[in-house]
Structure 1
């Protein structure tokens, strides 16, 4: 696929900016009682923004009014004029970063195609352009074909990814990584760091102490720390400024994360901040690393009881301004008094929402960019003027979504049968009082992924607007709640992890939220596996199941060689987290949905992508053929060009319209 760059100038008074950039008008008319399905599963109309270093401009990713493609637009924050500086007829700009007050870098992706339709386009590439639309340059290739020359230089390969800009305000350089993959298994081996000039295309590599997977630069633009992983072991290395040699700070188990120390970043004064686990529950917090003692400080900088630290440092290149972190919701701990007061002012003006501030690094204007979002609002972007106290709305992420029509999403906890505390998210239909509702237990994939947070989620809100209560358990094994919660899920596929889901459904029944005769289980990937095992283990609890891209047999995860499960994970990860293929063979058989297919009698909806390499379609085909021998109520959907999840909006709309009909038929929602 060859993206065709289309540049056009949009200079306009801000009073007509919303029209020029195809931004939604402010809500006025009364909404319909049920938002259409397309409103939930279309691509965002507004995909993000970033302030320039001085705040003179803001870069926005906005859907074109004519093509629907995401384009790069720069807005003057004083005059409120806008200019579209990069746009493609067959692709979308999916990320943008300022590297100076004059220059930006961006990447491109096709948000309207499934993974199978991208056979000739497997990389987002890398491009640079000045804020006025001049000086554009392609830096990395989009595909894996023959290398293409630009003048007397070659483009960087398709694995090139942006890492960071420099702290030099006059520099056109950036830091990028280039991936090296195994010739035999095609899995990632290492990331090499380069310093790349965005005008000349000249790139200079840095030496690494091993198979680096992450890099961290200090305020002087020196790659000061790197993380390596090899043979199931991880390590953090530090480039000693006196000896100019890499020194190993810590080594740990890369699979389980025990004894892990993860760099978060360097403060402008050179201090290194890291995430590390402490205490009986093993929850992690943010600490400062003491280089003299070669140890982490005893007192945390930021920690939230019951939650692992997830966050980032916020600085202006001279000072550490604050820490942005996520517990059950996102928050910012500002160290700067003025910014702390500014956050309080904006929170008061925009209540009931998370208000993320993007503050210029070297502010020369009184404006900040505000992204405001909640469980009911996918996101609205504003420019806030600190001098006048005025907000100027730039656009809404999903303009077809009206917050008044959405359900309420709350963080809850319940006890599993063995006493373990299970965190979960409960979304109720708009206006519902939570009594005797049809319930969908929606199971996340992974399963060893990070915990969810308080934000708008298309799938759960769609189901809520159709009259369903939605329970999303963060069952044992889910990361984000400490090592104890994570470790409790080891080798518990189909066992205690499964019990956590059933216990959540019964909790909802006991609380009067769910009608016991109208409960369905649903999920993708691991969630698909859990759906099938839920129908096997608890036939009296679940009346139906919906699974897509689901694992149907653990042994297939080992044996299917064309999946993208790497040999490292199969060798070091799966035997510990899922089960050893030989030592735990009987357990894996007993918890295989494929081998238990004849026990499933409930209605079942299955969907798979023909181009899925994470859970190849053989999982679905074998299970479909087995279950249909004894169960006539099985619906099968195959999306030929989709991978592990639905990338094409048309696929998402089609799939969820089928889910809606399936659920209404089997557990009878009454909106």
Structure 2
């Protein structure tokens, strides 16, 4: 049976941009160039390194799955296209000849309450020819065909890399974990689900060894981490994370020692670190297994090579971007080698430690960097991604030390036309150091400034930006047109340590907003921002911040552009209160000013846009603010984008292009006196 359709063969995609031309000799990159489907995405190597799979979009069309033989890349690949109803969004090798494929389909049966429309996802296993392995009819599946028409295997718990045929999956219908045979399509239940526990985490051998339980202690909500005792086989509670402490712990990795696991969390320290936990003695190590002196620790990277399977080969940390600290000398040498082969430069960055205000230095790539995205088990074949804030991602294949370009993901964007991006810091009015990402226009086209400037606060607010390619285009699209763009990592931002994160508590529209204004004043003082040509454009929480910038009578902004922002905090506070964990974890931190209550104070033009199927910040938030503004005689515009949800990866190319072009048009023609 073929679920997906075999289509005409296609040779390897390389991309359209072919060399360094002077930026002023080429037309500016269009909104469609930023918004198009990525030419290559979700690339994956087979464990033996003999095959490469990726989702490929030819000339911006729908993604198709292409599978190459790595030893003969010039021969046509197997090409598998989806039908009209489905869109392929993810693929990964799970065995040498088996792939786990995720598709999505638009449906109006989403269960989002007042929002009727969204994407449903289905997962399946296919072989190298595109044949679909049978999907079981799992027990407990609803009889309603409208609910089961787009279903699949559910989520993958473990690919069981040491097993040639089986994987562990968890169907979306219940919490049971099943062992699924990827050749025959048969299954057996490994672990029964429970309303009391979350899905099981597996060890290196695929055995379910850990579960998480939500419970209360004298009314205080917590997550308890339960582990199977390797000596007795008993499932026992070991440690807890109380919501009110806002110091969540998570199991980062199992190790080859059945008594030792690795746990990620701050544990009262200024930053997240990786800690050893001994199951037998029920104790954490006194010192972390990995901690960065300036930034939060991230993931644990373990070897999948049979000779040292499960050994720790690296840790990640969240610096200017997610960065790998290799503890394995071979992988460290490979990273150095590929950086050199592709011309990546590393230089010291002067930095003020946010926790201590101590002046320090750390090393970071000048612009783009190389990510080892995948590797064969023997490490002779590597999949590399080169990207940066001014470098759209490029895929490379490295075989036996030789590197070949596979694809440019945005082939119609010439990097020489993009802005220069750097990580900066400035002091807020209370002395707290605020990181920011600053992108200035190409010097040879626009000179040294001062420039018209756009403040672009991120969403969340518990989120962050980093020094990597941003597929929204919100920085580089406008930098290519002569704007400076600053992305402040205001208080409340995650990933920069506990002090900055917690400083945002209950400061919506208050100190969090001060941080944005202080960034503008810093750029004006540095001669970067033209003081009479500043606007703000934010999305989600950033949309709220743009609404608040219109309220504040500080004269810094000529206009505001607010995407999918909450005009009132009431609904968000209610939603976090209704969730028993968030009631203690996040709800107490959401307090401040509601823009919709300050219509009369708005003195600058504002453009509002939102998606008609946004179930995170409902579109009525923007509509209500717009209606009140028009009733009060204030200059306002609104656009409701069709079939658009909240998250980036649900946006269509038309959604993204519309956001860029309508915002550009508004800035040019309606932003303050004479446009920005």
Is the pair's TM-score, using the shorter chain for normalization, greater than 0.5? Answer: yes
| SS class of match (2:43) | strand
Q: Deviations over 1:356-405 (max 9, x none)?
A: 22454532x8321111111112211111122xx32221111111222111
2:603 to 601, 604, 620: 601
Gaps (5+ residues) in structure 2? 345-367
Gaps (5+ residues) in structure 1? 181-190, 580-587
Shift >6 Å, 4+ stretches? 111-116, 118-121, 667-671
| SS class of match (1:236) | strand
Moved more, 517-526 or 120-129: 120-129
Q: 1:669 to 1:634 in 2, by over 3 A?
A: closer
Find the aligned partners of 2:282 and 2:132 in 1 and give their Cα distance. Answer: 46
Q: CA deviation at 1:45?
A: 1.6
Q: 1:626 to 1:657 in 2, by over 3 A?
A: same
Aligned to 1:477: 492
Whether the 8 Å contact between 2:304 and 2:377 is mirrored in structure 1 is yes
Aligned to 1:648: 652
Q: Deviations over 1:181-221 (max 9, x none)?
A: xxxxxxxxxx5533333332525251467644564321211
Q: 1:4 to 1:664 in 2, by over 3 A?
A: farther
Task: Kindly indicate whether residue 301 of structure 2 is the aligned counterpart of residue 313 of structure 1.
Answer: yes
Between the two proteins, the alignment pairs up a number of residues equal to 625
Whether the 8 Å contact between 1:439 and 1:520 is mirrored in structure 2 is yes
Aligned to 1:224: 209
2:420 to 375, 384, 408: 408
Q: Deviations over 1:612-659 (max 9, x none)?
A: 221112211221111123344211111242222561211221221110
Task: Kindly indicate whether residue 38 of structure 2 is the aligned counterpart of residue 34 of structure 1.
Answer: no
Find the aligned partners of 2:567 and 2:634 in 1 and give their Cα distance. Answer: 19
Find the aligned partners of 2:171 and 2:464 in 1 and give their Cα distance. Answer: 24
Q: Deviations over 1:334-359 (max 9, x none)?
A: 23322221211111011233212245
Q: Deviations over 1:230-270 (max 9, x none)?
A: 56422222111222222222111236522x32211223444
Aligned to 1:663: 667
Q: Deviations over 1:382-435 (max 9, x none)?
A: 11122xx32221111111222111112211111111111111111111225653
Aligned to 1:184: none
1:180-195 map, 5 Å? 191-195=175-179
Whether the 8 Å contact between 1:43 and 1:111 is mirrored in structure 2 is no
| SS class of match (1:636) | strand
1:131-530 map, 5 Å? 131-138=128-135, 146=143, 157=151, 160-176=154-170, 178=172, 191-198=175-182, 199-207=184-192, 211-213=196-198, 215-230=200-215, 232-254=221-243, 257-258=246-247, 260-270=248-258, 271-277=260-266, 282-316=270-304, 318=309, 319-352=311-344, 353-363=368-378, 366-386=380-400, 389-431=401-443, 435-457=449-471, 458-530=473-545
Whether the 8 Å contact between 2:37 and 2:61 is mirrored in structure 1 is no
Find the aligned partners of 2:257 and 2:144 in 1 and give their Cα distance. Answer: 42
Whether the 8 Å contact between 1:216 and 1:265 is mirrored in structure 2 is no
Whether the 8 Å contact between 2:107 and 2:118 is mirrored in structure 1 is no
Aligned to 1:629: 631
Find the aligned partners of 1:496 and 1:326 in 2 and give their Cα distance. Answer: 24
Find the aligned partners of 1:426 and 1:607 in 2 and give their Cα distance. Answer: 25
Aligned to 1:583: none
Q: CA deviation at 1:222?
A: 0.5
| SS class of match (2:206) | coil
Aligned to 1:585: none
Q: Deviations over 1:479-521 (max 9, x none)?
A: 1122222211111111111111111111111111111111111
Q: CA deviation at 1:24?
A: 1.4
Find the aligned partners of 1:50 and 1:604 in 2 and give their Cα distance. Answer: 44
Whether the 8 Å contact between 1:92 and 1:111 is mirrored in structure 2 is no
Aligned to 2:102: 107
Q: Deviations over 1:437-480 (max 9, x none)?
A: 11111011111124534334521111111111111111111111
Moved more, 80-89 or 529-538: 80-89
Q: Deviations over 1:96-133 (max 9, x none)?
A: 122211111111125999999x9687422111111233
| SS class of match (1:661) | helix
Task: Kindly indicate whether residue 59 of structure 2 is the aligned counterpart of residue 55 of structure 1.
Answer: no
Task: Kindly indicate whether residue 137 of structure 2 is the aligned counterpart of residue 127 of structure 1.
Answer: no
Whether the 8 Å contact between 1:17 and 1:82 is mirrored in structure 2 is yes
Find the aligned partners of 1:210 and 1:533 in 2 and give their Cα distance. Answer: 42
Moved more, 335-344 or 202-211: 202-211
